[in-house]
Amino acid sequence: MAHVRPHENIFLFIPNLIGYSRIVLAVASLYYMPLHPRTCSILYSVSCLLDALDGYAARRFQQSTKFGAVLDMVTDRCTTSCLLVFLAQAFPRWSIVFQGLISLDLASHYMHMYATLSMGGSGQSHKNVDESRSWILKQYYSNNKVLFTFCCMNEIFFIALYLLSFSSPLLSPTLLGDREVPTSIQPGSPAAPKPSMFFTSPWSAGAMEMARANKMDSTVPWILTLTSAPIMAIKQYINIVQMVKASQWLAEGDREARRQAGLPARPHTE
């Protein structure tokens, strides 16, 4: 009698359960992001660290799945994009830079995964890169320690920059200014109005400025920002290489498909 394998619920695999917890932590960090930088940073950091744990669990329990890989990538892209959206709001002068980073991150990973699946076969993982196509991508994806270091330092840079938006007068001077100095001399207005007169609701747009006025020490965020900046820059370069190589791979496939289809068709001659 043939042995019948039990039905497996992919959605309840241990690495996927860890992935769900990452989403919960990420959503919680976004909730606290505008007004509570310490709480937000802790929740966001734990969510990022679990990214390494789900990969280990997948190998340890032999539960590597395509669903888990996609869940992991989508979670990474969404959480990073949400943080960059906040940074674009916190530093409006540099919003185009953060918008560019979001676009590069999404475009690079989408094109790479699409090229891998369409050109390398449905069973091919986006982390399996042929060295002949790109040496730097091969080194990036083949070594888990290298991959973790780059992703971790990339996130640390943006988290530190987020903390600087609450702690560094150089980067984010508060709109409230010095509360002890009179800020209004118009008739009928108090000489030094209380912040509550401006921002009666904690959900108002100005509430973030009140939170930023309660300054934190910026020493540690500055150290983290400057330390992680070079690796973050290399990570963005890798994203560019990944997008270019994926484009070239897709173009190779298009040329081969057109050749097999006999395109361009020769015009009929009389």
Instruction: Identify the CA nearest to 84 among candidates 74, 72, 71, 97.
Output: 97
**Which of the four pLDDT bands, split at 50, 70 and 90, describes residue 132?**
low
For the chain, give the percent of residues with pLDDT over 90.
51
Residue 192 lies in a domain: no
Given a cut of 50, is residue 157 above it in pLDDT?
A: yes
Q: What is the model's pLDDT at position 116?
A: 85
DSSP state letter for 11: G
Q: What is the model's pLDDT at position 183?
A: 45
CATH code, domain carrying 20: 1.20.120
| Structural domain count, the chain | 1
Structure tokens at 170: 């150089």
Catalytic: which of 76, 130, 178, 217?
76
Given a cut of 70, is residue 37 above it in pLDDT?
A: yes
Question: Phi-psi bin for 125: left (phi > 0), alpha (psi -120 to 50), beta?
Answer: beta
Largest CA distance in the chain: 94
Span 35-50, average pLDDT: 94
Residue 182 lies in a domain: no
Q: Cα(105)–Cα(10) distance, rounded to whole angstroms?
A: 28
Q: What is the model's pLDDT at position 234?
A: 95
Q: What is the model's pLDDT at position 100?
A: 97
Q: What is the model's pLDDT at position 77?
A: 95
Residue 190 lies in a domain: no
Instruction: Identify the CA nearest to 84 among candidates 154, 7, 167, 15.
Output: 154
Residue 147 lies in a domain: yes
Q: What is the model's pLDDT at position 212?
A: 66
Report which secondary-structure segment, H or E, holds 179: none
Residue 135 lies in a domain: yes
Residue 60 lies in a domain: yes
Structure tokens at 73: 């990538």
Q: What is the model's pLDDT at position 236?
A: 96
Residue 4 lies in a domain: no
Question: 209-268: per-residue pLDDT in tens?
Answer: 666 655 678 899 999 999 999 999 999 999 999 999 999 999 998 998 898 888 887 765
Q: What is the model's pLDDT at position 193?
A: 52
The domain in which residue 75 lies consists of: 10-172+208-259
Residue 47 lies in a domain: yes
Give burial (CB, 10 Å; 0-12/13-18/19+) of 259: exposed
Span 3-18, average pLDDT: 86
Question: 172-226: per-residue pLDDT in tens?
Answer: 655 445 444 444 445 445 455 555 555 556 666 566 666 665 567 889 999 999 9
Q: What is the model's pLDDT at position 182?
A: 45
Instruction: Specify the pTM.
Output: 0.81
Judge whether 76 counts as a catalytic residue: yes
